[in-house]
Amino acid sequence: MYVCNCNGLRERQVKAAIEAGATRPADVFKASGCAPQCAKCVCEMREMIQASRQALRYAAE
């Protein structure tokens, strides 16, 4: 599934960037070698980053 249609970023690419340490959508774009264009994907990226943080928090318990 595409997260960012403008740059052709797929969910797996965004997850890989998050797992590599991306903490903001800007970090995801940088890791992918692109830049935000319409920014419609930023909210979804933020949700993915937050979900990853929560999963790590639960795993640490």
Domain limits of the chain? 2-60
pTM: 0.90
For tokens 């929560």, name the residue: 54
Report residue 40 as tokens: 């419609």
Measured between alpha carbons, how far is 7 from 36 in angstroms, rounded to an integer?
A: 8
CATH number assigned to the domain with residue range 2-60, chosen from the 4 options 3.40.309.10, 1.10.10.1100, 3.40.50.300, 1.10.10.10: 1.10.10.1100
User: What per-residue confidence (pLDDT) applies to 56?
Assistant: 86
pLDDT by residue (tens digit) across 9-61?
Answer: 999 999 999 999 999 999 999 999 999 999 999 999 999 999 999 998 888 77
Residue 35 Cα distances to 13, 26, 53, 55, angstroms: 14, 8, 23, 27
Q: What is the pLDDT of residues 23-36, one digit of tens each?
A: 999 999 999 999 99
Residue-level pLDDT at 1: 95
Q: What is the dihedral of CA 32, 4, 26, 59, to 10 degrees?
A: -90
